[in-house]
Amino acid sequence: MAPGEAHGRLEGRSALVTGAGSGIGAATARRLAADGARVYRVDLQGEVDRHADVTAPGINAELVAEAVARHGGLDILVPCAGISAFHPLEGHDDAYFDQVMAVNVTAVFRLIRDAVPALKRSPHGRIVTIGSTMASFGDAGLVAYGASKHAVLGMTRSVACELGPFGITANCLQPGAIETPMTAPAFADMPEFRVYWEKKAALGRLGQPEDIADVIAFLASDDARFFSGQGFFVDGGAMQRQ
């Protein structure tokens, strides 16, 4: 089977993807739909079903209700909306730290919490959160982002423990450097950043959004039914190299 080829394995499933207007979220929405899922796409911007700010009070319950009403249930949740920028620790303002935590952590928590009743009604509930290599390691200038991604991984592990008895899996995918609008400024401003990641990856290249979306589709499928509570790198082998 060719990479990205549709399986039909998600036929009849309903999915909610945030951050679906761009990058990894957009590729995920396309991939889940190609596999047969009905996808409710949410983002601040872009070509989606609903423009919404996931940090707005009460919005996550609304989004879940809309997805359920439109597609008759909810089986797959992918909170993919996220933000990141380099900010040195000195002079790092509170507002940016709070914003990163609001989008990358609090909104993910609220969406998962508000989706629990619907996911419990599904015979194959799936939650796939998006961590980062920064959920396991650190880097200069990424204090807020690193804190947020460690939190997402920790949250996912506990969610997996709590919802496992209801047949719901939860996993945290940890991408390496992926070419999306999020990383475009860094790759443009710092050519050495691109070279670093290309060299660091055992596979010798940057990731594409589809490299991540295909793994998310696997995690959302029955093939991954006994896989839960995991955080794992999808990084072309980058984190295995010294």
Ligand X SMILES: NC(=O)c1ccc[n+]([C@@H]2O[C@H](COP(=O)([O-])OP(=O)(O)OC[C@H]3O[C@@H](n4cnc5c(N)ncnc54)[C@H](O)[C@@H]3O)[C@@H](O)[C@H]2O)c1
- What positions carry a catalytic annotation? 145
**170 contacts ligand X (rule: CB under 6 A):** no
Instruction: Write out the DSSP string of 58-88.
Output: THHHHHHHHHHHHHSS--EEEE-------B-
**143 contacts ligand X (rule: CB under 6 A):** no
Q: Which is nearer to ligand X, 13 or 41 (CB)?
A: 41
- CB of 108 within 8 A of CB of 79? yes
Q: Rounded to an integer, what distance in angstroms lies between the CA atom of residue 177 and that of residue 193?
A: 10
**182 contacts ligand X (rule: CB under 6 A):** yes
Which tokens sit at 148?
Answer: 């947020």
Among 21, 125, 231, 236, interactor with ligand X by CB under 6 A: 21
How many residues form the binding site for ligand X (CB under 6 A)? Answer: 29
| Closest separation in Å from C-beta 12 to ligand X | 27
**55 contacts ligand X (rule: CB under 6 A):** yes
Among 60, 132, 171, 228, interactor with ligand X by CB under 6 A: 132
**83 contacts ligand X (rule: CB under 6 A):** yes
Among 2, 5, 45, 191, interactor with ligand X by CB under 6 A: 45
Residue position matching structure tokens 């509170």: 94
Q: Which is nearer to ligand X, 123 or 191 (CB)?
A: 191
| Closest separation in Å from C-beta 8 to ligand X | 26
- CB of 146 within 8 A of CB of 100? no
- CB of 220 within 8 A of CB of 228? no
E-assigned strand segments in 55-168: 76-79, 126-130
- CB of 40 within 8 A of CB of 66? yes
| Binding residues vs ligand X (CB under 6 A) | 18-19, 21-25, 43-46, 53-55, 80-84, 103, 130, 132, 175, 177-178, 180-183
